[in-house]
Structure 1
Amino acid sequence: MTKLRYVDQAAILLMSLGEQDAAEILKHMGPKEVQRIGAAMTQLQNVQQNEVQTVIGNFLDEVRTLTGLGVGADNYIRKMLITALGEDKANGLIDRILLGGNTTGLDTLKWMDARSVADIIRNEHPQIQAIVIAYLDADQSAEILTYFTEKVRLDIMMRVASLDTVQPSALQELNDILEKQFSGNAASQTKAMGGYKVAAEIMNNLDGSIEAELMDSIKEIDEDMGNQIQDLMFVFENLKDVDDRGIQALLREVSSDVLVVALKGADEDLKEKIFKNMSKRAAELLRDDLETKPPMRLADVEAAQKEILITARRMADAGEIVLGGSGEQML
């Protein structure tokens, strides 16, 4: 049986529960977690009985069999999310979970799809745009930037990198835009936001061609800023600086299909790092796959590498691995 990612196991587990129980669990999750698990649910196909038993066995020893997973999944997911989040949020999950009724201020934007956020801030002052981009999670901010022109992206990222703290007046202006109110504490003090590290995290989540183009433009205007951002960026080749335990943990979260494609564009040092942290048989199979796999489009290789990097950053956030590479630990 192919090893399931943790997010796939979570999706199978939730779909194995009744709607009420699954809804109760989802209520305690944030937008990113719900989005990831919801996406995994929609992608479940042909779930084998032994996979279900393995997943359920990890949590509830008394559960022995379940059937019907994947049949009518869309309807099940919609009904479950309506129970958990209310109809407005659940309906928005088809594109990406939209406006949350229990969020305020900038947090509201975390429940919206990237295009909607881009439309909201498109005609605002660039400094307001930068505050929004600096506040949101790096992967969402990167997607939002794709809906702007090259010139606007450059302006926003320069401002993000230059941000340090945000004055209450700026937050209040943003509150007015969103027609929300921050709590008294949040509105009465400056907030640390932005900087080179945030800019580097956002850059890491951009498409490879956009990232390279934007970095070149930043360096043309401010070479020192560009170099400092670049020093903090963690790229795929930096994985060879992660310790063996971290690589082993990461490999347990990455599918073999994605790994093969990603390694098509890796140097020999990184490949050897991966091979030595696998069982002898697994390493041999991977070598064979790399040798027999036909040439891949650069875009496909970059997408696979990006997927692995996103997993690595998530695991670093959770304290499961430590990212090495150029500069300090990013996450």
Structure 2
Amino acid sequence: MKNELMTEKLTGAQKVAIFLMWLGEEEAGQIFSYFTDDEISEIAGCMTEMKSISSELLLHVLNEFSNDYHDCSKMIADGNAFFNNAIEKSVSKERAEKIYSALHKKKRGMPFSCLRQVKPEILSDLVKGEHPQTIALILAHLDSNAAADALVRLPADIQADVAMRIANIAYVPPELIDEIDRILQSEIARAGSAGIGNIDGLSTLAEILNKVDRNTEENIFTVFDEEAQEKANVVRQLMFVFEDILKTDSKGMREILKNIETRELIFALKTASGEMKEKVFASLSQRAAEMLREDMEVVGAVRLSEVEAAQRNIVRIARELESEGKIIIGSSKEDIFV
């Protein structure tokens, strides 16, 4: 956005930003409390880029709010300072930090965008000489499909190390991301925008591992189980959720149902999707399905914690059956049949 704004090209958010800056920090702060975080972020993005607002532009905006406005003069304002002062007076510190973070991401763009069009084999060659921590940081900011392709192509002896570092990522200074991004852009240019570093490392790793081949997954978990068993368990849970059992064929579903108790199944189905319930009923005999429906109607309210515990146990059973080769759970990975 340019500092010299055109009257006919003003967006709604820009008009609101100008009007609030004219009102002053105290009044703007009170009005901010009625906006959602997304609305505040959009308005803030406009405010922080405004340095000078002409009298003509200000009058145009004010006339939309009141036809009785007469005396306006040129307003010079530091939009960034105005927004910071106004937001601190209107919302809690925690909410303000979220808004600042969202605004920062919006202004800076997506991290490592220069890698989006890079082929997986080139990407892996580009990063494999880097320190495992740097590789982890890069992969954690990529689309999970691209990250999975790159992880598979890394040397086997560093795959688990990189995966471990992804799982441990929490906050990364944006300046560090900027520096790595700048270096990568230079390397890509020779060969022919970063956001705030709040990352859920465990969830990111789970998404990546969901898309790698089984050998890579097992190689990584072998090391994880030895060095970070608790995190390994969390990643396994994130990789496979209750609704993923839908990917099992009818034979596999019947095998799972044989290994769980009816009461546990009833609890687990409390929050299940209609599709999941129908698949369970279809895998039972007509009589068993009718009895299950009747039992589900009789059971009253159940604690959510009990429902989640039942679902986790069924997921555990399904994973055990899969590891024993008794069932196959479909996924986006490339399955090999022999």
- Structure number with greater Rg is 2
TM-score, normalised by the number of residues in structure 1:
0.41
